Amino acid sequence: MDLNFKDITTIGFDADDTLWVNETYFREAEEAFTALLEPYETKNTIDQELFRMEMRNLELYGYGIKGFMLSMIESALELSNGRVSQKTIAQILDLGKKMISHKLELLDGVEEVLETLSKKYRLLVLTKGDLLDQERKLKNSGLIDYFHHVEVLSDKKASNYKRLLEHLEVETSEFLMVGNSLKSDVLPILELGARAIHVPFHTTWVHEEVQPEEHSNTHLTISGLRDLLTHLN
C-alpha cells in the first residue's frame, strides 16, 4: 500500500516485540509451566486454563510478567484442586523471576533506525505492561536518549491514545504509530484518524490476534524496522 508520511512529525513505538524480544519468553515460561502441571492435567487443558485465568485477571492485575506469574499460581491451584506442592509454587515464581531478569535482546536494526529517525522526528515509546519492568528494560536497552517521551499505558485503546496525544499536544494528522500488534498498535490508531505501520513479530499472544475481517488494509506492513527508513527518511 502506498501511504504518504510526509507530514508526520511524531512517531510512537511499541516496546515489547517491536524494539526488543518479549513474547518468546512468555511462550517458554508457558511450556515450563505445562511441564510442572502435567501430573494433574493434559497440556491442552493446562494451556486453556492459564489463558482463561489471564483474561479473568487482566482488569485486576493488568498486563505484564507479575500478573502472568499470579495467573500461573492461581491456575496451578485450580488445576490441582489445591494439591499443588509448595515446591511447585516456588518453581512457578522462579519462572517469573527468570523472565524479569532475562537479558534484554534488541531486535535487528533497532538502534540504527532510532538514531536516524530521531534526527528528523519526535520519537515516543508507547507500551503496555508493568511500569517497573518496562522502565528497567528501557534503561537496560541503551535506547532511552532517542525518545522525547515514554508512556506505559494500562491499555491501548483509542481513548488511551487520544488522551495521551492531547496531553502531548500532538495532532493525529502528524502522528504515526509503529508496532507488532494489529489489535493494540494499529487498529486503535486508525480509529483516531492517525497512521500506523505494522511490523509483525514471529510470535503473537492469542489475546492480541486479529482476524482479517476485523480490519481494513489501511496501514502499511513491513518485514522489519529497517524498512522504516525507506518510507520515512
pLDDT at 48: 93
Task: Count other Cβ atoms within 10 Å, centred on residue 71.
Answer: 23
pLDDT at 63: 84
| Residue 190 and residue 178 in contact, taking contact as beta carbons nearer than 8 Å | no
- Domain 10-20+104-232 CATH assignment equals 3.40.50.300: no
pTM of the model: 0.87
DSSP classification of residue 17: T
Shared fold status for 10-20+104-232 and 23-101:
no
3-state DSSP assignment of residue 76? helix
pLDDT in tens, 140-162: 999 999 999 999 998 889 999 99
Averaged over 161-183, what is the pLDDT?
Answer: 95
Exposure string over 164-188, b if 16+ CB within 10 A, otherwise e:
bbeeeebeeebbbbbbbbbbbbbbb
- Domain topology for 23-101: DNA polymerase; domain 1 (1.10.150)
Query: Domain limits of the chain?
Result: 10-20+104-232, 23-101
pLDDT at 215: 52
